[in-house]
Structure formats: C-alpha cells, structure tokens
Structure 1
C-alpha cells in the first residue's frame, strides 16, 4: 500500500470513529430526553423524590411506602394530603403484638370504596399502600375487565396476634401490618372472590391476577393461592420494615 493510500485509509477510519461517536452521543441524548419526559409524569420513579400518594406508581413507590413504617406523622400527612378519610386508633400492646400507628379507613373523600364485613384497622403504611392500590391498580383493572368500578373490598381482617401458619414466627398481622383480601363486589352487584375465581380462565381470574401483580409493586409481601394452600381464598398484602421479608407469589 502506498503512503497516499495509507493516509486515505487513516482518514477514513478517523471519520468512521467520529461518526460512531456522534451517533452514540445523539443516542445517549435521546435516551436522557425520554427519561426526563417519563419521570416528569412519573416522579415516583426516582429515588430522591418525596412520596406522593396521588402520583402514578413508579419504580420506587414500593420502597417509599415501606419507609413509612415508624414514621406515623409523615404517613398521616400523606393520607390527609391525598384526601383520604381516616380515624386514628388507640395503640394496642399485647406482649410482642400490637401497634402504635394504626388507622381505620373511612369511605368518602378521595376513597369511594367500602369494606365488608367491617372497616378494619391497619398500620398507616398499609393504609397508604392500599389507597394507591385501589386508585392505580384495582379500579382501572375493574373498568377494563368489567366496565364497572369496585364498590367493596371483602376481607378476612388485619390485626390478629398469631404466628404464621406452620411457623413459630409472628405474622405481620400481629402488628396490623397486613390485610387479607378475600374478594371484591362491583358497583353493579357482581362479586369476584379469590376462593371461587382464581383458578378460572375467564375475566374474573384475569382481574384477580392483574390486581395481585399490581400489589407486588406496592406492598412488601404479596401472597396468593399460587404461593400455598393456606392462601387459597385470599390475597395476603403486608408492609414490613426495611430489611423484612419481600415476596410476590
């Protein structure tokens, strides 16, 4: 190869490198721009933004909800800011069991949903997660699958001083950090239950799986009939302190 050809080859390679670098810079700028636009609409996708119950669910919503455990004033403020009606419950201390930050969610305000058979008391962090779950997961799924909103959550309770089934470890129910959802009643009267409809192949089964999957991004632990026979008739949803068990099954 002559000297002239070698110089020409070097210029060509340099031009190609500059082209690839320019392309990489434009691609990176495009990705950053997309990220800015995305997180402008979903600030909960960023770890440093404060939790806002009225914002769409983001990547870090679940961890921010878990961080509310032990920060009762902040949790109450977030519920009030979101328009959630609730009543503070007197603390309970029973050996290792009990709670100091429980609330009872009341209908009205930003929440149209009711509870059956009774309005349960639950840790404030659970109430916050349950509110977002209703707004961003349950109601949109119900409208897509049934064309009707959910009017009532059916449940098996929250606070219960007892160990986990088949274990000597206390359940999160022992601290009011868990709720067991048994089913849903739609505004038009139709009823969906975990016990009857989970194993089906229809819209009810699809709805139940969708709301289970949506709960996984909000609660520390979400357990369904897919986990074990002890959960054949309910969805177990709980919020645990940082470092606690995490599961979505």
Structure 2
C-alpha cells in the first residue's frame, strides 16, 4: 500500500501539458518603392532661381555686370541653364529693368551680352526717339520671349533664344500708359517711331526682324546677337 493510500488522501492527477500556441507567420517586410524625383523645370525667366555671381576668374562676365550696373539695369544672377536638348546659358541674368526709368515686362532671362545691348538700345535709341516723337518718357518695353529652349521656326537648328541671346519685343509703353504695339501701330506717329527704332537697332543687334519680314514676326521685333562672318548683320 502506498503512503498516499495509507493516509486516506487520494493522489492528485498530474496536470496535462498545455498545447503550444500555434505560431503565426511573420508578415514579409516590404521595401517601399522609391518615389521618383520630379522632373526638373525649364527656366523661362519668370521662375529662374537665384545664383551666386560668376567666379572671379571670369573677367568677361564680371565686367559685363559692372557695365549693367553703370547703365542702371536692375538684374540678378540666375542659375546656369543646361538642357538635354542643347539649350544653354552659362551665366544668365534675370533682367527686370533696362534703365532706372524703363522696365522690362515681364522680366527676361538673358545672357549678359544681350542684356547690355538692350540697355544701350534703350538709352541711345528707344528712349530719345520716344521723347522726341511723343514728348514724354518711355516707361517700359514689353517682351514676348527671352530665353526659350526651342529650335528656329521651320528648322532643326537651335534658336538664339535657346542661348539667352535673343529678345522679342511686342510693345513700347509711354509714361502716360500708351502702348505702341509693334504689330498694330495707331497712326503715322507710331509707325514712324517703330520704323525709326527698328532701323537703328540694326548694328547694335546682329539680327533684326519684324512685321513684313515673315509671318512669324508679324507682331513683334526679334533682336539677337548671332555671330556672322565678318560681323555682318541681317535686318529685315
């Protein structure tokens, strides 16, 4: 007889082993797909990002900016333009005025050389001709295009606009708010003014096109600094 029986106490049954809990599968860790970076925007002049001025070693660009300040041009340096299509400006400037009195509307992204030529054109040609013809100051030039990454019309060759080396002007604004539209002059006085500034732009600018040259330039003047053999100009 066992000791437990002898004492009259029943032996307690051994507890059963509890079943192990079922293992749940660990969810797979997924690596989040990278979010693609947004495609870079092409600068047009209105959204050009500021940039430090050209390196001190670049004397040509540095001296050009000194001349812009002397002429009273309001501008700031913009980030270099590099486009896969080949459009490029190494040291662009965003120009807001072409003299202390004459604005550029809207501001234009240009290379420094044509910005300087445009400022001298205003000082030496457009402003004095307007003052003589209309007896009031010139207040603004309205532009259609400055830098634009595109080919020439009807050609695969890049336009001078693609290098910030051209500017298209659609109107001249006088101090009283009168706008002299290149494509729609009102009366002989405006026609003679436009003819005078167009004729005298040929030389400072290397290309001058406007109404009558072709259908693409029926409503604006195109001025650029395209290099030609012997420094020749092309004006129509």
Give TM-score, length-normalised by structure 1: 0.66
1:245 CA drift (Å): 7.0
* Correspondence for 2:206: 220
- 1:237 matched to 2:223: yes
2:66 is matched with which residue?
Answer: 77
Alignment check: 8 A CA contact 1:148 1:186 kept: yes
Q: CA deviation at 1:223?
A: 0.8
Counterpart position of 1:103: 93
What is the match of residue 40 of structure 1?
none
- The equivalences for 1:103-142 within 5 A come to 103-107=93-97, 110-116=99-105, 118-142=106-130
Check conservation: 1:129, 1:218, Cα contact below 8 A: yes
**Distance change >3 Å, CA 143–CA 83, structure 1 → 2:** closer
Whether the 8 Å CA contact 1:221–1:245 is kept in 2: the answer is no
Deviations 1:111-144 (A, max 9, x none): 311122x211111011100011001100111011
Aligned 8 A contact 1:102 1:176 in 2: yes
Whether contact under 8 Å (1:121, 1:159) holds in the other structure is yes
* Residues 158, 87 of structure 1: alpha-carbon distance in 2 compared, 3 angstrom cutoff: same
The aligned counterpart of 1:93 is 82
> 2-side partners of 1:140 and 1:186: how far apart?
12
Residue in structure 1 matched with residue 30 of structure 2 by the alignment: none
Runs (4 or more) in structure 1 with deviation over 6 Å come to none
Deviations 1:39-91 (A, max 9, x none): xxxxxxxxxxxxxxxxxxxxxxxxxxxxxxx9322312222333433211110
Aligned-residue RMSD, C-alpha:
2.0
Higher RCO (CA < 8 A, seq sep 6+): 1
Moved more, 180-189 or 95-104: 95-104
* 3-state SS, counterpart of residue 184 of structure 2: helix
* Structure 2 unaligned blocks of 5 or more: 1-58
Q: How does 1:158-177 map to 2 (within 5 A)?
A: 158-177=146-165
The gaps in structure 1 that reach 5 residues or longer are 1-69
Instruction: Report how many residues are paired.
Output: 176
How far is 1:179 from its partner? Answer: 0.5
Match of 1:46 in 2: none
TM-score with structure 2 setting the length: 0.69
Structure with greater Cα Rg: 2
In structure 2, what is the Cα distance between the partners aligned to 1:242 and 1:75? 22
